[in-house]
Amino acid sequence: MSIEGFPVDIGVVYEGERIRKHEMYAEWGGVKQKYKFELVRVRPLEAVEDGKVQVIGPDIKDLPEGAKAQPLGILVEVAGEQLKEEMEGVIERRIHDFCNYIEGFMHLNQRYDIWLRLSKKSFKKGLNSFTWIGKALCRLFKSELPIIEKIQVTFITDLEKVKEMFDEALKIYEARDARVRGLKDEEVDAFYGCTLCQSFAPTHVCVITPQRYSNCGAISWLDARIAAQIDPKGPLFKIEKGDCLDPVLGEWSGVNKTVKEKSLGEVERVCLYSAFTYPHTSCGCFECAAFYIPEVDGLGIVHRGFAGNTVIGLPFTTIADSTAGGRQVPGFHGLSFEYMRSPKFLQADGGWERVVWMPSEAKERVKGFVPDEILDKIATEKDVSNVEELKKWLKEKGHPIVARWKEEEAVEEEKLPEEAAPAAVPAAPGAPVVAVPQAAAVPTAGGYQLVLNLPMPAAAGGPTYKIILKDVKIIAKKMILKKITEEEKKKK
């Protein structure tokens, strides 16, 4: 696509482009900036001046090179005979991919989590004003969604003005989310899917149901249904439910079939209400991540906006990296705030009874949806700072997870010694010892996929055989981290 005089290229080829710190000219939003948002509003035809782009506050060229975490509000106003307010959410989500079509311009996340960067290269080529970005958005929106007859875009970069609109934007998001609450997965005849994030996570497929909100938190079941109707060739599509294979785990035959097709065979099963058993894949723009804490057999949850370390000593970014990219990683799970408000929230794993730690801000945002008897038993960064303290806290507060420890201990005690520790089979005298120089454990749906590359001795022909063990469960009672000395290295 070309726009007269546009300083850089525009096209799907640039989707997925990452701009690293050293390549960036300037940055807006991100974790370090609270005041940022993007919002689409449907207006009457006469209220929109088609093609108008406004910048309120400093423009790109007014910023010094390397400017970080600038405030930003993106307001897109659209009008059209057939447009309805319920369509705002899905139109808004397209800001993400349309911005990413612009060479050297990166857009991540959504709503109040947006994070944008412009590359030095594109700035040098002349992409030095939001007016250009606005022009590209106007053109892309109108060509991809012909239902939009008129569009105008406003970029707000003045901190005070962004602050003014920020609270209003939050209220609008909340009203959208509340529309679907009360609708049950069992009551609808179809679910919806989204592959918008495949540019960053090629095997990721979001399955959106009334009670399992999208990972990004920006697309509800109603939004997805509307999107599939207005843009049938777009990234959102209908999923026939098929048979319910397990109502507790949330597994449907139609979901499995569609996810397998859309992930090109990579993901074969998805259980919508579990973080452990064939969990929903995680893309990269999920609002929060759940992570397993083996020492207490519970789940922690951390949101993108939390800048500190979690109770396991890792920040959101590291936990997110453990599950992002369209993978199914048992125990690590990308999810949205709205899914935490659902009665189906991780129901197969124990729901809220399994959650032991959250940042105080995240807890505040979902507190009306956590059972009263559990809310005060979930620790935050203000209560504990490591797993040992967490364990103590959970015991003192009588968190329901403690009952699980007792059950597990009882089962352990009941085990016969030979069940608990199977005897090692001694190798036959003279049997060859096979060295395993390369082994990789890749997390998969049912456990781990363990890949062993076994070179055979030259005397036996010398080829390397790859042995793949699928759905391996790895249980380690202890992890020993041992520094290898230079002397030991030489001996090897």
Our finding on whether 342 is near ligand SF4 (CB under 6 A) is no
Binding-site string for ligand SF4 from residue 258 to residue 287, where x marks contact by CB under 6 A and - marks none: -------------------------x-x--
Our finding on whether 218 is near ligand SF4 (CB under 6 A) is yes
Our finding on whether 87 is near ligand SF4 (CB under 6 A) is no
Applying CB under 6 A, among 63, 137, 194, 320 the residue interacting with ligand SF4 is 194
Our finding on whether 157 is near ligand SF4 (CB under 6 A) is no
Taking alpha carbons only, the member of 104, 3, 88 closest to residue 42 is: 88
Number of residues that bind ligand SF4 (CB under 6 A): 12
Of the candidate spans 116-124, 208-216, 315-323, 478-486, the one that interacts with ligand SF4 by CB under 6 A turns out to be 208-216
Token duo for residue 155: 């970029």
Of the candidate spans 216-224, 237-245, 253-261, 458-466, the one that interacts with ligand SF4 by CB under 6 A turns out to be 216-224
Applying CB under 6 A, among 196, 239, 296, 329 the residue interacting with ligand SF4 is 196
The percent helix, strand, coil of the chain (3-state, each to 5) is 35, 25, 40
Token duo for residue 368: 């009306």
Our finding on whether 152 is near ligand SF4 (CB under 6 A) is no
* CA atoms of 340 and 346, how far apart (whole Å): 8
**Cβ proximity of 296 and 119 under 8 Å:** no
Where are the alpha helices (H) located in 198-310, listed in sequence order? 221-230, 253-262
Our finding on whether 255 is near ligand SF4 (CB under 6 A) is no
Of the candidate spans 2-10, 38-46, 193-201, 435-443, the one that interacts with ligand SF4 by CB under 6 A turns out to be 193-201
Where are the alpha helices (H) located in 58-208, listed in sequence order? 88-100, 120-125, 130-144, 159-178
The Cα angle at residue 473 between residues 469 and 475, in degrees rounded to 5: 130
Q: Is 451 exposed, middle or buried (0-12, 13-18, 19+ CB in 10 A)?
A: middle
Strands of 45-99 (E only): list them. 53-56, 67-70, 72-79
Of the candidate spans 176-184, 189-197, 337-345, 411-419, the one that interacts with ligand SF4 by CB under 6 A turns out to be 189-197
Our finding on whether 93 is near ligand SF4 (CB under 6 A) is yes
Q: What amino acid occupies position 438?
A: Q
Applying CB under 6 A, among 128, 214, 277, 281 the residue interacting with ligand SF4 is 214
Our finding on whether 445 is near ligand SF4 (CB under 6 A) is no
CB of 463 to ligand SF4, least distance (A): 42
Can you give the binding site for ligand SF4, defined by CB under 6 A? Answer: 93, 194, 196-197, 206, 214-216, 218-219, 283, 285
